[in-house]
A and B are shown apart, each in its own frame.
Chain A
Amino acid sequence: MTLVDSPPAEAATQGTRVARRAFLVRELGIGLALVLLIAVTYAVNPRFLSAQNIKDLLLGSTILAILAVGQAVVVITRNVDLSAGSVLGLSAFATGAVFVAAPGLPIPLMLVIGTALGAVLGAVNGGLIAAAKVPALVVTLGTLYMFRGLDYTWATSRQINAADMPPAFLRMGTETVLGVPVLALFAVAVLVAVGYYLRHYRGGRELYAIGSDPAAARLSGIPGGRRVFAAFVASGALAGLAGVLHAARFGTIDANAGLGIELNVVAAVVVGGVAIFGGSGSVYGAALGAVLLTTIRAALPVLGVNPFWQDAAVGALILASIGLDRALSARVGRSLREGKAHG
């Protein structure tokens, strides 16, 4: 046999460089698309970047971004959480109900309560999926209905109004620090914390490992059930937090809060470059995806496009994103292989 020597180091590193660049490109790409969109819209109408409008954009993105971060954690493990919108709804209504019952409750405690409620609901999902070994899509579709039904049952067509909630809490929904809404700061804090955990902690890396190859994860002794459970608890907790923020932002809550938002969240994650079959992508991308989706909806009317085109544009964006991912991974795969080929 002609002996194949180890590949030249240069070739290998070149393939690597292309791979690394592609991952960067993916998130940069969304960022770039976002910047371009904003620039064009600004050129058409400079008022698009008024302080108020920026604030609105950030506020609009906040809740979707937090949900997208939680969803990304789950999708990275090759699962999906369709119940996020219903968890948000329950938590939002709980926020109102708790304030009606205990008007003097400190706001931080309310945030903890909402997050904890979400975590419990997430634990229901995660428990069923990890312990009974049933597909996440089916379980969370089921809990999508169940949680929403509980929400309706609890709300019994009541509506909780701004007057029922402490003014300080509602102020939190609109207040800004240096022009940045407080709610958006929540989203950034969540994003950085989760992003850092996924990148720098064993538990985080194991989530990627599980999504990348579940069988290999098992052979490596990764506690798959426990990790997937934790991912669903995290997703639930973030949806719960988003519910509290939803209540603060809108002031009026009925049982319909967050209705139908789940597919939007999955869309944000996909647009953000998280592979729907797990193993790759980042929460930063997912959050950027959420911001991009929100910005498109806001920018189209400014650009003079009939606002009825919004959904269609979002759909086209999703298709373009997964198409781009496909093309990129094909290119990376080729360059990694070619790096080897002439060894």
Chain B
Amino acid sequence: MFRYRFVLLVLLIGLLAVVFPLITVAQTPDENTLIIAQTVDVGALDPASVNSRAEANIFFHVFGTLFEIGDDGVLRPYLASEYVVSEDGTEWTFTLNEGLTCHDGEALTAEDVAYSFERAADPANAFTGNTAGFALPAIGYQGMRVDGDLQVTVLTDRYQTPNLRLALISEVYIHCKDSYSALSLEEAGQKPIGSGPYRFVEWVPDDHITLEAVEGYTLRPTNFKTQIWRVIPEASTRVAELIAGNVDVIANVPPDQIEAVNNSGVATVQAVAGTRRIYVGFQFGENFKDAPGYDALQNTDVRVALQYAVDVPTICKTLLGTECERASSMVNPPNNNPNLEPYPFDPAKAEELLDAAGYPRNADGVRFETVLMGPRGRYLNDANVVQAIAQYLTDVGVKTTVDIRDWADYRTLTGPKEIGPMFFLGTGGGTWDALYDMADLSSPDAGTNYTNWQNEEWFTLWNSLADIRDPEQEREIINQMLEVFYNDPPWLLLYFQPDFYGVSNRLDWQARRDEWIVIYNATLK
């Protein structure tokens, strides 16, 4: 008979390779180490090229900014202690704190601040992303002027609401001239030399970034000696690591797993009302003239009627895992128009209005057909919310087909505004100024006017704001504009996207509303 001793031996070796490592024990974060898990890795670590939230979150800790945007919307002094604005509002002069240094020991002076702006704006560097691609153009950046060792002036081409401008200026990360001019662009993207409370130690791509507290940093606290920012793309894996106690903070807890986290006794979910405005846009662009439902949706009464058809609170409760108030405008509370009531869920009224608008149900119970486009994998539970909205619209007789695309694909369509006749989208907002949120619709052909909305009253009022300096008068016009928006809605108003952070119970930390993870202030309980 065949003796398979040899065969068994090989099998044993194979099994041993599997079983042997089971013997050692897993490690957990200690009192000096804070471990945070994000969903995606940074692309590069150049302070002038911020292309994702993941990058910004690292930069908040490694770099200082002139002022800092607090999670309450208040702007507080940071590297700069104060600022003066010129008469015409175009020149902003900041005074830096004394004795600042960068992490390589170089003194941080006005010249370095000027360099940080100039480097980002330099076309030769071809930077993309938030600083060069949005913040600087949005303030009408013209250049910098060094007025002294600690005085530096930002030159712009126009007046702008002070809070808005200061917030945009505070999105520029300050770095030192000597350290960065010695680096090639490639090197600069790998090993940041910062000016903030934490020093960069190591970046293992797609795995983790390690930061270490800067000793003697006084401007901001450094409660943990080490921060490790891990990358864990899969939601279930992130939550499992949190519950196992291997990670302190995770971003984007799926709504259906909130209960599991809260029941674990190890961590708790913090739900924050985010500032991202989620809406369904109605496309007005000519490109969609022949698309189903286009004509019906041009009718203001139809667009108002549809607002009543969607049960936003139920969507929030079931698909987003939290209670939320429906948006009454595109502006984040508390900067919105307090007189506007969110549209209630009232399908009967929706049907009544649709009848009155000249779109009765036909023999099949259909008023008209249309298409709702949406992304997948970008916003909280997006594909499901899109399907739920389509169901609600179908329920009142507007037969809605959904067309769901992968995010990258969707973005290449939203860019040239090739989305419609209805589309699901979310754009980032702010808490510090109503105009920041309203800037989406700054002109009929603004890149962010995805619906191609042409309402004359709105754009006339927007242009009139340019000459107004009095905050109260400005507020009045804002309220008036939001009313126009409410009554001739280019958006089917939905909600401000809630964000869920899983936070270990050993930690005392409050998550922010604006999708930023700023965690130098976290302490052990």
Physical interaction between A and B: no
Q: Which residues of B contact A (CB under 8 A)?
A: none
